[in-house]
Amino acid sequence: MRFTVLAGALAGAAAALGPASAFAVDYLSAEQAARLMFPDADGFELRRLTLDAAQLQQLDAQGVRARSVGWTVRLAQRAGVLQGFVVADEVVGKVELISYAVALGLDGAVRQIEILAYRESHGHEIRLPAWRRQFVGKGTAAALRVGEDINNISGATLSCSHVTDGVRRIVAVLALARRAGAL
Amino acid sequence: MTPNKSLALPAHTVMAAALALAAGGALAQSATETALAVRLDQLSSELAAVKAQMAVLQLRGAQAPATSPAPAPVALPGAAPLPGGFDAAAPSAPAGPATVITSYGEINYNRPVHAPQNGQADVRRLVLGFQHRFDERTKLVTELEVEHAVASASDKGEVAVEQAYIERQLTPLLALRAGLFLMPVGLLNENHEPTAFYGVERNFVETAIIPSTWREGGVQGVASFDNGLTAQGGLSTSFDLNKWDAASTEGRESPLSAIHQELSQARSRDLAVFGALNWRGVPGLLLGGSVFSGQGTQGQASTTARITLWDAHARWTPGRWDLSTVYARGDISNTAALNAPLVGNPTLIPKTFDGFYLQGAYKLWSRGDYALSPFVRWERFNTASAYADLGAGLTPAAARAERVTTLGANFVVSPGVVLKADWQRFREAPDLDRVNLGLGWSF
């Protein structure tokens, strides 16, 4: 009986505070995220990057673990003109995978990030716009580290750190690819 | 056996040597290693691509008999063919292994400043756990803990199931847990891995007043809102005041630890309700509080007694700073009636106990994964701040509040490994002043 009352109260509180915007496991697909982050784009070209050993060592020298040699980049275009880039990636949060996508402008700086899927029991707050906005405008010159220029979320330290590390890696990989003329 | 002084090394020297070894272990990748890494990554990418393609084929196969056609994939004008392309975020892509092994552990060394002969090294705890995802919405979370290295009839160690619950995501907003779970209280109880807190030992407020790691059996709803608010609440087992041992000092060290049940053949006539609100709407800021209330005599005594524990907490982590505070207070009703037959024993049941701490840490230095964060913590706690009136000469005097200052540093070796060192000063019991060294890990 008391549980029924409690469940009712929780449901009532949920209704009063308004619905969450998406399902708590899969929020967006990579395609949806790309369109969300580049709403003016009329097309996305998929391009495959393959890093060589020298590039991996360059990243290593920058303190970035490349993790993978293969990267898929979506080139956002409008009327044939390049608008920016989107990379979808996954990192381990605490024990589960977090899927996310990063949009970068032509200046190589982060334009927006979106959480595509979150599966941990704690730390859903990394989806909050206020936390994700911290990345906007940051490029290779930024620290892009939790405890430096990215504030943590208490109780979700590993999720915050690993997503931040992932964004730093994507920023560095795309900068490297652009310098090499691959993008 | 007489120790051989020529061979004996102070524990802190050993820890320092371990630290130096860890720091010196970072070697640059050789070209051969890099080439191997490239090949390994290529194979890994190819395997992932094959898995993703298989998942797509399976999905198509499952959708084939559907009476209505599946929605067409989003068109990507201008998209080039992507041989072997791996789209990590495609909904049909594998979401990692279904079963994941987790672990954390602490090995601590405590050396009383005024009584070094009582120095002690201990595998404080080793926890092994696994999570298994039955489907995208349902998972099992478990943790099995061994404390003090050896659990036997002649040793002080113990083995305990720390968590064992099923979590089901009911709606985009609401998840439900059932089983043995950690109570949502304070800052530490749900985040108690050694890599998550400062200092070798857990703080006193969240061990003596909040009996971390505090878990109960029951059902718990967890609602996460888009405004940064997380609401948790439910029904759970409660404490058992019949376990109170007035002849021991255990209840003086932590009243609730002396009567917790941990779902070990827990008396369950009387259940408890609990709830917690935490708001993380501003990056780096957490504001929250919790309350628990349950009967504690479980129908074993003619007197009923309600146990209430509540807390308020805040944590702010702007940049390199990490500032936090917790206040927690517990109350037990009808303790006069419960204590009456216990008069004459050293430890009666307190009516009230509470504690408060302030903590500040600063990431002073970092390079790569290494990070050094000095911290200072000031605590005031009282495990018996008031007793119910038993009459003149019979009512125990309230205990004096202990005040502990802890000064130390955490040194992160890798994101899951931490070395710790600190010094603690006890205002009321200076004999307890000590230095501590610790090694902790979590993955």
Answer yes or no: are the C-beta atoms of A69 and B42 closer than 8 Å. Answer: yes
Q: What percent of chain B has pLDDT over 70?
A: 79
In a domain, A4, yes or no: no
If pLDDT is split at 50, 70 and 90, which confidence band does B32 have? low
In a domain, A41, yes or no: yes
In a domain, A112, yes or no: yes
If pLDDT is split at 50, 70 and 90, which confidence band does B49 have? low
In a domain, B2, yes or no: no
Buried b (16+ CB within 10 A) or exposed e, B309-341: bbbbbbbbbebeebbbbbbbbbbbbbbbbbbee
- Contact assignment for A6 to B283 by CB distance below 8 Å: no
CATH number of the domain to which B379 belongs: 2.40.160.10
* In the predicted structure, residue B8 carries a pLDDT above the cut 50: no
In a domain, B126, yes or no: no
Which run of H or of E encompasses A69?
none
Q: Which positions in chain A touch B89 (Cβ < 8 Å)?
A: 28-30, 33, 88-90, 99-101, 116-117
Q: What is the C-alpha to C-alpha distance for residues B223 and B176, in angstroms, rounded to an integer?
A: 9
* In the predicted structure, residue A28 carries a pLDDT above the cut 70: yes
Q: What percent of chain B has pLDDT over 90?
A: 72
The two tokens of residue B148 are: 């003090």
Q: Which residue has the higher pLDDT, B383 or B74?
A: B383
Least CB-CB distance to B283: which of A24, A30, A130? A130
The two tokens of residue B259 are: 């009567």
* SS3 assignment, position B160: strand
Answer yes or no: are the C-beta atoms of B129 and B100 closer than 8 Å. Answer: no
Q: Which positions in chain A touch B222 (Cβ < 8 Å)?
A: 121
In a domain, A20, yes or no: no
If pLDDT is split at 50, 70 and 90, which confidence band does B314 have? very high
The two tokens of residue B373 are: 């964060």
If pLDDT is split at 50, 70 and 90, which confidence band does B55 have? low
Q: Give the range of the structural domain holding residue A151, as residue numbers without chain letter.
A: 25-179
- Contact assignment for B79 to A44 by CB distance below 8 Å: yes
Q: What is the C-alpha to C-alpha distance for residues B410 and B19, in angstroms, rounded to an integer?
A: 12
* In the predicted structure, residue B358 carries a pLDDT above the cut 80: yes
Q: What is the C-alpha to C-alpha distance for residues A48 and B45, in angstroms, rounded to an integer?
A: 12
Q: Indicate the burial class of B250 (C-beta count within 10 angstroms; 0-12, 13-18, 19 or more).
A: middle
- Contact assignment for B89 to A72 by CB distance below 8 Å: no
Least CB-CB distance to A46: which of B85, B273, B280? B85
Q: What is the C-alpha to C-alpha distance for residues B76 and B57, in angstroms, rounded to an integer?
A: 20
Q: Return the HEC string of B350-390.
A: CCEEEEEEEEEEECCEEECCEEEEEEEEEEEEEEEEECCCC
Q: Residue B371: closest CA among chain A residues belongs to which residue?
A: A147
Answer yes or no: are the C-beta atoms of B181 and B165 closer than 8 Å. Answer: yes
Contacts for A162 with CB less than 8 Å, ≥ 6 apart: A91, A92, A93, A98
Q: Give the model confidence (pLDDT) of A139-177 as tens digits.
A: 999 999 998 899 988 888 889 999 999 999 999 999 999
**From its phi and psi, is residue B84 left (phi > 0), alpha (psi between -120 and 50) or beta?**
left
In a domain, B433, yes or no: yes
Q: Give the range of the structural domain holding residue B400, as residue numbers without chain letter.
A: 167-442
Least CB-CB distance to A29: which of B79, B89, B187? B89
Q: Which residue has the higher pLDDT, A131 or B24?
A: A131
Q: What is the C-alpha to C-alpha distance for residues A92 and A90, in angstroms, rounded to an integer?
A: 7
In a domain, B284, yes or no: yes
- A34-38, B47-51, B60-64, B110-114: range with lowest mean pLDDT: B60-64
Q: Select from A152, A160, A168, A169 the residue whose CB has the most chain B CBs within 10 Å, as the one to mutate to test that interface.
A: A152
- Contact assignment for B284 to A77 by CB distance below 8 Å: no
If pLDDT is split at 50, 70 and 90, which confidence band does B52 have? low
Strand partners, B379: B357, B404
Answer yes or no: are the C-beta atoms of A70 and B86 closer than 8 Å. Answer: yes
CA-based angle B128:B133:B138, to the nearest 5? 120
Q: Which positions in chain A touch B221 (Cβ < 8 Å)?
A: 6-7, 10
In a domain, B339, yes or no: yes
The two tokens of residue B387 are: 């007793």
Q: Which positions in chain B touch A148 (Cβ < 8 Å)?
A: 319-320
Q: Please report the number of interchain residue pairs, chain A to chain B, with beta-carbon separation below 8 angstroms.
A: 220
Q: What is the C-alpha to C-alpha distance for residues A46 and A33, in angstroms, rounded to an integer?
A: 14
Q: Which positions in chain B touch A6 (Cβ < 8 Å)?
A: 221, 233-235, 273
In a domain, A141, yes or no: yes
- Reference B34, options A173, A168, A61; nearest CA is A61
Number of domains present in the structure of chain B: 1
- Reference A54, options A37, A46, A66; nearest CA is A66
Q: Which positions in chain B touch A47 (Cβ < 8 Å)?
A: 80
Residue B29, pLDDT score: 45
In a domain, B133, yes or no: no
Match 């998942």 to its residue by tokens.
Answer: B55
Q: How far is B113 from chain A (nearest CA, A)?
A: 34
In a domain, B12, yes or no: no
In a domain, A85, yes or no: yes
- Reference A75, options A115, A109, A107, A48; nearest CA is A48
Return the CA Rg of chain B. 26
